[in-house]
Amino acid sequence: MPDEVKSIAATRLAYPPSKSALGELAPSESRFWTGDHYNQGNFQEDIFDKAKEECGVFGVFGHPDAAGLSYYGLHALQHRGEESCGICTTEDETFNYHRGMGLVKEVFDRERLEALKGDRAIGHVRYSTSGSSKLANAQPLVFKYRDGDLAVCTNGNLVNEPIIRRELEEQGSIFQTSSDTEVIAHLIARSPKDLVDAVKDAFARLIGGYAFLIMTKDRLIAACDPNGFRPLVMGRLGDAYVFASETCAFETIGAEYVRDVEPGEILVLDKNGLREDRFAPMERRAVCAMEYIYFARPDSDIYQVNLHSARKRMGRHLALEAFVDADIVTGVPDSSISAAIGYAEQTGIPYELGLIKNKYTGRTFIQPSQELREKGVKMKLSAVRKVVEGKRVVMIDDSIVRGTTSLRIVNMLREAGATEVHVRISSPPFMNPCYYGIDTPNPRDLIANTKTVEEIRKAINADSLYFLSKNGLMEAVGKHEGEKNRGLCLSCFDHDYPTQVQFELAKTTSCSCD
C-alpha cells in the first residue's frame, strides 16, 4: 500500500467539550478569514475572468469497485474544481483515503486506487476560495469521533460558518483546517443524539448553499440545503446507489439517473436500504442560476433540464430581445457555444468558429505582469482570421464579470479583421457578490456594479452590447413555474438573497471555505 494511502489516522474531535481558554480574538486574528472581501480566491488569476464554482462531490454505496467509480465520476466533474481532489473508502470498518493537489488523473493512479478497498466511497474535486491552496483543506475531510470514523465532503458555502466556528472554539473545539466543512463534523461530534438525528440538528443550524455527502463505517448520508442552491443527484448502478453534483458523472460510469435530491432533504443509506427524510422544509427553491448559465457541463441535467438545451434557449431569447444585422455569430468557447448556436438558429445568421480555445495551456502561463497576461490570453484563445476578416461579428458570451477579458476578445476579433463586433451576453448583468459557493471579486470590481450598460459597451470596445433579461433567463430555463423566480437564485443579478446574509461582515472579510 502506498504511503499516501493510509488507514485513517484522523483528527480527534473533542466530546464532551472542554472550556475554552482562548478568549476573544480580534477580527484580524481570525484563522478562517483571509483577503479583503468575501469569498476571495484565485479569481484574479483567471485569464478568462470567469466566476468560479467551488467544488464537485461524488458518492457510491454498495459497489465492489467504489474507488474506481469515484475516480471516473470525479473526472467527469473536474470542471467544478481543478486544484485538489480526494477519495475516501470504507471496508470492514476501516477508512482508507487519499487526497492530493492537482487534477484527478494526476493525483490517482492504478496503485493508489487499488489500495482504496471498500464498497462505499465519497469523493471531491475542489476549487479553492481562499488566496492559497492547501492540502490540509482538500476533501473529503476525515475525522474520528466517539462512534468511530467520519468522512465529510461538500459543495457550497456556509454563510454563518464564522459564527458557528467561533461558538465551537469558545466551547473547546480545536479546528485543524480553515474549511467550513469541518464545522459540520464538530456539530455532529458534539451532539449526544444518534448519527442521523445529530446530522439533522447540525444541518438545521446552517445557513447557506450546500450539498453534503457524509460517510461512516456503515452509512452514507446525502443532503441539500433548504433552498437547493447547489445541485445533487441520485442514481443507480445495478444494486448500488450513486450520488453526484451533476448527471454527466452518471453517464461516465453507466449509471441511471433516479432523481434530484430535494431542498431540505436528507437521504440515509445503510444495510436496510434507502431511507428518505427531511431536516427542514423547502424554504424557497433557489437553484443557482449560474449552474444553468455557465458552471454545469452542457451534457448534464439539473431538475431534468438539459443544460445545452437551456443555453440554446438563452441564445434564442437573446436573439428575440436584441437582434442585430451581422454576417456571422460566434461563441466564446466553451461555455457560450450552446447560446451562440441558439442565437444563430433564431436569427438565421450563420454560426461560425470565430474563436478557438487552446485546451493544452495550464496555470503556468498565467503571469502577473500585464504584458504577459495579454500574451496568456492569446495562448489560450485565438481568433480565426479567415472566418472573421471583413465580417460583422456577433460575439456571444455567458457573462461579463470584470470586463477585462471581454475587452481583450473584442480587440482580438478586430485585430483579426472584424469590421464590427456586437456583444450579446446570455445572462443579466452580474452586479452582486455570491455568498452560496461562487468565488466572486469585490463588488467594486464587478463592472456591472459600477457602470451602466452603455459604459460597459465603451469599456469593452464593442459596437453594441446587450444582456439577456431576467425574464428571458427564467423562460429559457423553463422550470418550476409558479415559484419565485421560477425556482432560481438570481441574487448576483438582482441583490435579492434568499437567505439572511451578514453583509457588513461579508464586505470586509473573505471566507476561506476551501
Q: Are strands 273-278 and 265-270 parallel, antiparallel or unpaired?
A: antiparallel
Which pLDDT belongs to residue 442? 77
Same-domain check for residues 380 and 235: no
Q: Which residues are annotated as a binding site for Mg(2+)?
A: 335, 397-398
Residue 104 is assigned to a structural domain of this protein? yes
Condensed to tens digits (0 to 9), the pLDDT of residues 273-295 reads 999 999 999 989 999 999 999 99
Report whether pLDDT(34) > 60. Answer: no
The pLDDT of 436-447, averaged and rounded, is 83
Catalytic position from the list 55, 85, 248, 511: 55
Which pLDDT belongs to residue 4? 38
Residue 509 is assigned to a structural domain of this protein? no
The pLDDT of 115-125, averaged and rounded, is 97
**Is 501 or 328 the better-scoring residue by pLDDT?**
328
Active site residue 153: no
Residue 16 is assigned to a structural domain of this protein? no
Query: Of 226, 251, 284, which one is at a domain's C-terminal end?
Result: 284
Same-domain check for residues 382 and 353: yes
User: What does the block give as the cell for 450?
Assistant: 459600477
User: What does the block give as the cell for 245?
Assistant: 453534483
Same-domain check for residues 376 and 278: no
Same-domain check for residues 239 and 342: no
Same-domain check for residues 311 and 269: no
Same-domain check for residues 334 and 269: no
Write phi, then psi, for 360 (nearest 5 degrees): -110, 15
**Is 504 or 367 the better-scoring residue by pLDDT?**
504
Q: Distance between CA 238 and CA 166 in Å, rounded?
A: 45
Same-domain check for residues 315 and 260: no
Could you tell me if 301 and 249 are in contact, meaning their C-beta atoms sit under 8 angstroms apart? no
Same-domain check for residues 274 and 144: yes
Residue 504 is assigned to a structural domain of this protein? no
Please tell me whether the overall predicted TM-score, pTM, comes out greater than 0.75 for this model: yes
The pLDDT of 469-490, averaged and rounded, is 96
Q: Are strands 6-7 and 273-278 parallel, antiparallel or unpaired?
A: unpaired
> What percent of the chain lies above the pLDDT cut of 90?
68
Report whether pLDDT(11) > 80. Answer: no
Could you tell me if 402 and 446 are in contact, meaning their C-beta atoms sit under 8 angstroms apart? yes
> What percent of the chain lies above the pLDDT cut of 70?
82
Could you tell me if 213 and 86 are in contact, meaning their C-beta atoms sit under 8 angstroms apart? no
Same-domain check for residues 142 and 232: yes
Query: Of 251, 284, 317, which one is at a domain's C-terminal end?
Result: 284
Residue 133 is assigned to a structural domain of this protein? yes
Structural domains of the chain, count: 2
Which pLDDT belongs to residue 128? 62
Same-domain check for residues 238 and 345: no
For residue 256, the domain's CATH number is 3.60.20.10
- CB-CB neighbours of 389 under 10 Å: 13
Same-domain check for residues 251 and 391: no
Condensed to tens digits (0 to 9), the pLDDT of residues 386-429 reads 999 999 999 999 999 989 889 999 999 999 999 999 999 999 99
Lowest model confidence (mean pLDDT) among 9-18, 489-498, 503-512: 9-18
Condensed to tens digits (0 to 9), the pLDDT of residues 296-333 reads 999 999 999 999 999 999 999 999 999 999 999 999 99
Q: Which residues are annotated as a binding site for [4Fe-4S] cluster?
A: 288, 434, 489, 492
User: What does the block give as the cell for 472?
Assistant: 428571458
Which pLDDT belongs to residue 502? 63
Report whether pLDDT(501) > 90. Answer: no
In sequence order, what are the residues at sequence separation of 6 or more whose Cβ sits closer than 8 angstroms to the Cβ of residue 242?
58, 59, 60, 61, 63, 69, 73, 234, 235, 236, 249, 250, 253, 255
Residue 363 is assigned to a structural domain of this protein? no
Q: Are strands 120-126 and 55-61 parallel, antiparallel or unpaired?
A: antiparallel
Lowest model confidence (mean pLDDT) among 371-375, 417-421, 433-437: 371-375
Which pLDDT belongs to residue 371? 56
Report whether pLDDT(40) > 60. Answer: no
Condensed to tens digits (0 to 9), the pLDDT of residues 184-222 reads 999 998 888 999 999 999 999 999 999 999 999 999 999
Grid look-up 490570453 returns 377
Same-domain check for residues 309 and 260: no
Residue 444 is assigned to a structural domain of this protein? yes
- Domain holding 255, by residue range, is 52-284
Residue 475 is assigned to a structural domain of this protein? yes
For residue 413, the domain's CATH number is 3.40.50.2020
